[in-house]
């Protein structure tokens, strides 16, 4: 069972932390002592991330690196220690992955995702199914006339577990990590690394 955290305020102004089984809404509740009011709040942290980069490669080539070679993502994603595909078969709609993450501040987390959209080579999207994040994510690929590909990563998320108490600093550092990873992906693809597209 999860818990909401709150504080007790007595008539003397003393504050101490308490916890109680999770409630759907924040609000007020009687304390264990009639002279005490209990204040509860919802600690969920929600946010959005949107990062874009132009890569000098076809959409099919970038797609092959990101969507069809996910288990080698640690080669260009600094906060990903390991990626495991859950189940057999080629990547597609319904494919699930487990990510082992190295987060800022020495934190580690396990995250599981499921792909709900797999429209090669234009868009791959999914949802977080396990771990400290809830929400959705997507990669979009738009190939330009000059042969470069505009890649957009978007994530709508809600922090859970211990990460929800890590504060805004972790969120900013994580967002900055995604920005750096997009640049690392650009360098990785443009240097010729990763799978090649069959002609």
CB 33 within 8 A of CB 10: yes
Query: What's residue 198's pLDDT?
Result: 72
Query: What's residue 169's pLDDT?
Result: 55
Of 98, 100, 104, which is closest to residue 82 (Cα–Cα)?
A: 100
Query: What's residue 148's pLDDT?
Result: 98
**Among the four given CATH numbers 3.40.50.620, 3.30.530.20, 3.30.200.20, 3.40.50.2300, the one describing domain 45-190:** 3.30.530.20
Q: Compute how many other C-beta atoms are within 10 angstroms of the C-beta atom of residue 174.
A: 23
Query: What's residue 166's pLDDT?
Result: 55
The residues near 199 (Cβ < 8 Å, ≥ 6 apart) are none
CB 42 within 8 A of CB 79: no
User: 59's torsion region: left (phi>0), alpha (psi -120 to 50) or beta?
Assistant: alpha
Query: What's residue 6's pLDDT?
Result: 40
- pLDDT-flagged residues of the chain (< 70): 1-46, 161-171, 199
Query: What's residue 176's pLDDT?
Result: 83
Query: What's residue 45's pLDDT?
Result: 58
pTM for the predicted model, two decimal places: 0.74
The residues near 151 (Cβ < 8 Å, ≥ 6 apart) are 52, 53, 54, 55, 62, 66, 139, 140, 141, 182, 185
Domain with CATH 3.30.530.20 in the chain: 45-190
Query: What's the CA gap between 141 and 121, in Å, rounded?
Result: 7
């Amino acid at each position: 069972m999860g818990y909401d955290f709150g504080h007790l305020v007595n008539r003397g102004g003393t504050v101490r932390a308490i916890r109680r089984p999770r409630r759907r809404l924040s609000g007020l509740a009687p304390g264990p002592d009639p002279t005490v009011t209990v204040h509860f709040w919802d600690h969920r942290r929600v946010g959005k991330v949107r990062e874009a980069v132009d890569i000098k490669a076809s959409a099919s080539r970038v797609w092959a690196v990101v969507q069809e070679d996910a288990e080698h993502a640690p080669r260009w994603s600094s906060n990903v220690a390991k990626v495991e595909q859950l189940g057999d078969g080629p990547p597609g709609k319904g494919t699930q992955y487990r990510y082992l993450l190295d987060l800022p501040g020495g934190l580690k987390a396990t995250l599981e995702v499921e792909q709900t959209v797999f429209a090669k080579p234009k868009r791959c999207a999914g949802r977080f199914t396990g771990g400290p994040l809830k929400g959705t994510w997507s990669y979009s690929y738009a190939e330009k006339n000059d042969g470069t590909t505009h890649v957009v990563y978007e994530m709508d998320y809600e922090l859970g577990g211990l990460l929800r108490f890590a504060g805004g600093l972790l969120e900013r550092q994580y967002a900055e990590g995604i920005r750096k990873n997009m640049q690392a992906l650009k360098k990785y693809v443009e240097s010729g690394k990763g799978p090649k597209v069959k002609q």
